[in-house]
């Protein structure tokens, strides 16, 4: 845990990893709180039809124990994969705790996944159990015949023809369970990469991954917890951003988590939720923040936020300026990936914040800019953003892909696959994914700066930038733009947006091609899937 301090150097010098010999996530996020403060609130569910349901740590513990007994009776045990296709709910939290208690491996799956995405992950993981909600019945029923490893399916909100109601099946079982003995490196969960650059891979994590997230969680939330803290995210708890940036670390500190079941993100609803529940801390990805910016309410003073952190893609200056002007606060940007999360961040409370930068290394993590051979590069020179092992937040391996796991490292450096540079003040700057960097007329161009510039134009709601082949310049910049309400695509607007970028950045960075679209292809985490845009562009 981080000790509060006044300067970055004091926080870094005062931090030391304390990883115990025996550790299980379930004990630290639930059991110990059920013993010490059983009536304190763990989950606050704002139901779609209006009512609010509160679940105490004792209730969460007893529910998870029944689920653990049910899974054990169903033949599921240590090392087995249990897939979770669930919305934000108390049952989702209880299912995670139950899986960790029996020594199995949780495989969270996003609610927005289609049939092919679900089938790939369930087959690839060899999941033996699956817990779903009724809304997923159709997709699951379609692929069940081809899932040879799957033995049992349970549903959290009713009985289905393909699955019994998990509460009916576990209701008569004991509400006590003895958690299996695990060490920090024992596998606990497997989160599939978002697939921005290729087929998703299962990033396998040990129980220590939660402890690895704690300093980054506290740093970006400016020494969490503080009195009155209450956290919420619109991100699916199946993603590392929802599960490991919000749910599990907040429960680790005994602080309640607000849950809401989105079928589609609604920015106006997000504002209402935060105001109604007096949310103090949020993790909101940049794409969602951009949508919220477009619908900023007039009574924004009802918002009681203490901290905002955002990541997954570059936040950009336009969002930072909006937050300062409308919310009176700065966004603490965070950087990491499914394999190694929350390693670079801002913490405005101690002055770790710089416009255009991600931030500095979170205490406990060693981050550097290296070349392809793992040699450190001088300040200002772009290269690979890399994290040194061993590190508690780092993944164990890619599931069933030993060569891909090996290729992730050069010596003791984990290569993130992102390009960046470090400035003389020690701040890291993001340039782009390796595959996203554009080479034009001898220049290497990151899409983030151009996208940020585009988003400053009053007509632009969302924008994505790629490089497309060009016989003279190697590549030219192409922008895909979603317009705000009240604007229509035209040749005049096309030229105006081009001039907007040319005048603010440079002649070699402006988009020579602009395609107006109604939407952009996004992962379930809100990241733009640029490889799909590149594929579209190459086929035209």
54 within 8 A of 230, measured Cβ to Cβ: no
pLDDT of residue 366: 98
pLDDT of residue 452: 86
Relative to beta strand 360-361, strand 340-345 is antiparallel
Q: Which residue has the higher pLDDT, 528 or 19?
A: 19
How far is it, in rounded angstroms, from Cα 64 to Cα 49? Answer: 25
pTM of the entire predicted model: 0.87
Instruction: Evaluate if residue 70 carries a pLDDT over 80.
Output: yes
Nearest to 40 by CA among 32, 52, 50: 32
How far is it, in rounded angstroms, from Cα 431 to Cα 44? Answer: 38
Q: What is the mean pLDDT of the chain?
A: 93
Tell me which fold the domain 436-539 belongs to.
Answer: GMP Synthetase; Chain A, domain 3 (3.30.300)
pLDDT tens digits, 211-261: 999 999 999 999 999 999 999 999 999 999 999 999 999 999 999 999 999
How far is it, in rounded angstroms, from Cα 15 to Cα 350? Answer: 15
pLDDT tens digits, 42-64: 999 998 877 899 999 999 999 99
pLDDT tens digits, 126-184: 999 999 999 999 999 999 999 999 999 999 999 999 999 999 999 999 999 999 999 99
Instruction: Evaluate if residue 262 carries a pLDDT over 90.
Output: no
What is residue 528's three-state secondary structure? strand
Instruction: Evaluate if residue 313 carries a pLDDT over 90.
Output: no
Return the percentage of the chain with pLDDT > 90, whole number. Answer: 80
DSSP 165: B
pLDDT of residue 200: 84
Residue 336 corresponds to which tokens in the numbers above?
A: 């990491």
pLDDT of residue 193: 86
Q: Across residues 309-334, what is the average pLDDT? A: 93
First to last CA, the chain: 52
Band the pLDDT of 470: cuts 50, 70, 90: confident
Q: Across residues 463-487, what is the average pLDDT? A: 90
CA dihedral sign, ordered 74, 78, 83, 87: positive
pLDDT of residue 196: 53
How far is it, in rounded angstroms, from Cα 453 to Cα 169? Answer: 54
Band the pLDDT of 324: cuts 50, 70, 90: very high
Band the pLDDT of 537: cuts 50, 70, 90: confident
How far is it, in rounded angstroms, from Cα 454 to Cα 449? Answer: 9
Per-domain residue ranges of the chain: 24-206, 436-539
Instruction: Evaluate if residue 336 carries a pLDDT over 80.
Output: yes
> Other C-beta atoms within 10 Å of 329: how many?
15
pLDDT of residue 524: 63
Instruction: Evaluate if residue 538 carries a pLDDT over 80.
Output: no
pLDDT tens digits, 16-46: 999 999 999 999 999 999 999 999 999 999 9
Residue 170 corresponds to which tokens in the numbers above?
A: 């576990």
How far is it, in rounded angstroms, from Cα 375 to Cα 170? Answer: 55
Return the percentage of the chain with pLDDT > 70, whole number. Answer: 98
Ramachandran angles phi, psi of 456, nearest 5° = -80, -15
How far is it, in rounded angstroms, from Cα 313 to Cα 446? Answer: 12
How far is it, in rounded angstroms, from Cα 33 to Cα 465? Answer: 47
Q: Across residues 452-461, what is the average pLDDT? A: 92
pLDDT tens digits, 365-420: 999 999 999 999 999 999 999 999 999 999 999 999 999 999 999 999 999 989 99
Instruction: Evaluate if residue 527 carries a pLDDT over 80.
Output: no
Please tell me the class of the 24-206 domain: alpha beta
pLDDT of residue 503: 86
Window from 8-12, 100-104, 213-217, 284-288 with minimum mean pLDDT = 284-288
Give me the helices (H) in 82-179, please.
Answer: 90-101, 115-125, 137-143, 166-170
482 within 8 A of 519, measured Cβ to Cβ: yes
Nearest to 379 by CA among 430, 428, 331: 428
């Amino acid at each position: 845990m981080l000790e509060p301090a006044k300067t970055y150097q004091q926080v870094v010098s005062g931090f030391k990893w304390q990883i115990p010999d025996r550790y299980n996530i379930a004990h630290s996020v639930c059991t110990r709180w059920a013993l010490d403060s059983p009536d304190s609130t763990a989950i606050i569910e704002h139901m779609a039809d209006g009512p609010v349901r509160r679940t105490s740590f004792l209730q969460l513990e007893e529910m998870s124990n029944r689920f653990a007994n049910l899974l054990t009776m169903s033949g599921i045990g240590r090392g087995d994969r249990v897939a979770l296709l669930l919305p934000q709910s108390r049952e989702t939290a209880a299912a995670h705790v139950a899986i960790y208690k029996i020594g199995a491996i949780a495989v969270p799956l996003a609610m927005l996944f289609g049939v092919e995405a679900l089938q790939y992950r369930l087959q690839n993981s060899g999941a033996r159990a699956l817990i779903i909600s009724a809304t997923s019945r159709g997709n699951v029923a379609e692929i069940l015949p081809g899932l040879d490893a799957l033995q049992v399916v349970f549903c959290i909100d009713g009985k289905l023809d393909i699955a019994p109601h998990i509460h009916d099946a576990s209701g008569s079982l004991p509400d006590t369970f003895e958690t299996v003995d695990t060490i920090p490196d024992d596998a606990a969960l497997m989160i599939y990469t978002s697939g921005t650059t290729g087929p998703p891979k299962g990033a396998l994590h040990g129980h220590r991954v939660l402890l690895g997230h704690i300093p980054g969680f506290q740093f970006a939330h400016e020494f969490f917890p503080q009195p009155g803290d209450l956290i919420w995210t619109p991100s699916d708890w199946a993603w590392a951003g929802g599960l490991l940036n919000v749910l599990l670390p907040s429960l680790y500190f005994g602080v309640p988590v607000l849950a809401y079941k989105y079928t589609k993100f609604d920015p106006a609803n997000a504002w209402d939720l935060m105001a109604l529940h007096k949310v103090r801390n949020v993790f909101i990805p940049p794409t969602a923040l951009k949508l919220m910016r477009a619908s900023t309410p007039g009574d924004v003073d009802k918002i009681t936020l203490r901290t905002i952190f955002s990541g997954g893609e570059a936040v950009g200056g336009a969002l930072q300026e909006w937050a300062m002007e409308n919310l009176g606060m700065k966004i603490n940007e965070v950087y990491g990936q499914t394999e190694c999360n929350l390693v670079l961040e801002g913490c405005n409370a101690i002055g770790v914040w710089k416009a255009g930068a991600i931030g500095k290394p979170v205490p406990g993590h060693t981050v550097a800019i290296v070349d392809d051979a793992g040699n450190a590069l001088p300040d200002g020179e772009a290269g690979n953003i890399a994290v040194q092992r061993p590190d508690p937040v780092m993944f164990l391996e890619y599931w069933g892909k030993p060569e891909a796991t090996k290729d992730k490292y050069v010596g003791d450096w984990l290569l993130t696959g992102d390009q960046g540079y470090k400035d003389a003040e020690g701040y890291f700057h993001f340039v782009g994914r390796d595959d996203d960097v554009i080479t034009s007329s001898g220049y290497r161009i990151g899409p983030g700066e151009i996208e940020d510039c585009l988003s400053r134009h009053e007509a632009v709601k969302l924008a994505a930038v790629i490089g497309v082949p060009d016989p003279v310049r190697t590549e030219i910049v192409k922008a895909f733009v979603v317009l705000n309400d009240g604007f229509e695509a035209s040749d005049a607007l096309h030229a105006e947006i081009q001039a907007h970028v040319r005048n603010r950045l440079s002649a070699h960075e402006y988009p020579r091609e602009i395609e107006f679209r109604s939407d952009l292809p996004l992962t379930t985490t809100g990241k733009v899937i640029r490889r799909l845009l590149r594929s579209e562009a190459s086929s035209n």
